[in-house]
Amino acid sequence: CNSGMYSTGRMLRDLALNGQGPRAFTKLTKNGLPLTGTTFSAALMLVGVWINYQWPGEAFNYVVSFATISGMWAWIMILFSQIRYRRLADRGV
């Protein structure tokens, strides 16, 4: 759990440094800890705990459904990007 939060904080920082995330995640404490990213990761974990507390019988289904829809969304966007790329490549762009 702790290593997951820390590594997520580091990944969020790297994304922000590459311009793929909010600049707030680039900040480090004086000890080199990505506090903003780690706090964000911990907050998301607390949301999971809250969901499990509110709907203990359905929490797993909610989380799995969200993950499935997110994965499908990503693949649908990849599909549309590929179709657009091929159309542009056929035109020589």
| Residue (of 36, 46, 47, 48) closest to 12 by Cα position | 36
Q: Where are the domains of the chain?
A: 1-54, 56-93
Tens digit of each residue's pLDDT (9 = 90 or more) over 32-63: 999 999 999 999 989 989 999 999 999 899 88
Q: Is the pLDDT of residue 2 over 80?
A: no
Helices (H), the chain: 2-17, 35-54, 59-91
Percent of the chain surpassing pLDDT 90:
80
Asked if the model's pLDDT at residue 93 lies above 90, the reply is no
Q: Is pLDDT above 80 for 78?
A: yes
pLDDT, mean of residues 75-86: 98
